[in-house]
Amino acid sequence: MRLLIATCEVEYSGRLGASLASAKRLLLFKADGSISIHADSGAYKPLNWMNPPCTITEQDGNISIRSPKGDVLLITIHEIHDEVVTELGTDPGLVKDGVEAEMQALIAKRVEALADDFQLVRREFPTDIGPVDLLCRDGEGQAVAVEVKRVGEIAGVDQLVRYLERLNLDPGLSPVRGMFVAERIKPQAKVYAESRGISWKELPIPVLRDELDDELRLF
């Protein structure tokens, strides 16, 4: 990982144009080929970013990042204040809390709780940026990536968006649509999901337990 603190300005060109005026910022270059640009506010969310895979070129104080789709992030460095390069190694991954793990397991046993025509392909379906919770197929055979959270927030939708970008690179799966599932989803996350073409569903865990118990009960 490379951390670069620099006074810089940024221009993005792609589906939409965006720019950042000159200011001191943190540039984060990760080993997976991604880059994100951060200010000293706004919590964890970057001001701009580029997901892998992308091509990074540095020349004469300019850093150009280009995606396979032709999106370009151009960073003009005016002054470097600090720079650190370090190896983080392999991360063991996020361990989900008991509620999320139980929800994922219960839904996998009865994916019809998501939609009547769903069939489970696999739990923890791997991508090169981490596993998506559930991969299903609907009645028309289209792949559906399902991300499960205890409380649905915008960050969870962003996570699913990144998974969809990776899954849609696979011609055997594409086009893949997304579904965001949680016990409770915040209103802003619902609006954001819909804006990205992602469906959502609230599934209280007691309902999932009861429905599964009803199926297993003989009388």
Asked if residue 108 belongs to a domain, the reply is yes
Find the CATH number of the domain harbouring 197. 3.40.1350.10
Length of the chain: 219
Asked if residue 90 belongs to a domain, the reply is no
Q: For the segment 86-103, what is each residue's pLDDT rounded down to a tens digit?
A: 988 776 665 555 678 888
The chain-wide mean pLDDT, for the chain, equals 88
Find the CATH number of the domain harbouring 77. 2.70.180.20
Q: For the segment 37-88, what is each residue's pLDDT rounded down to a tens digit?
A: 999 887 778 899 888 888 999 998 899 999 888 889 999 999 999 999 998 8
pLDDT value at 213 more than 60 = no
- Tally of domains within the chain: 2
Q: Is the backbone of residue 19 left (phi > 0), alpha (psi -120 to 50) or beta?
A: beta
Question: At 214, which amino acid appears?
Answer: D
pLDDT the model gives residue 216: 43
pLDDT the model gives residue 139: 92
Asked if residue 204 belongs to a domain, the reply is yes
- 178/194 Cα distance (integer angstroms): 10
| Single residue among 85, 113, 144 that ends a domain in this structure | 85
Q: For the segment 137-154, what is each residue's pLDDT rounded down to a tens digit?
A: 999 999 999 999 989 999
pLDDT the model gives residue 154: 94
CA distances from 96 to 61, 101, 176 (A): 42, 6, 24
Domain region containing 75: 2-85
Asked if residue 12 belongs to a domain, the reply is yes
- 156/64 Cα distance (integer angstroms): 29
Asked if residue 92 belongs to a domain, the reply is no
199 and 103 co-located in one domain: yes
46 and 150 co-located in one domain: no
109 and 197 co-located in one domain: yes
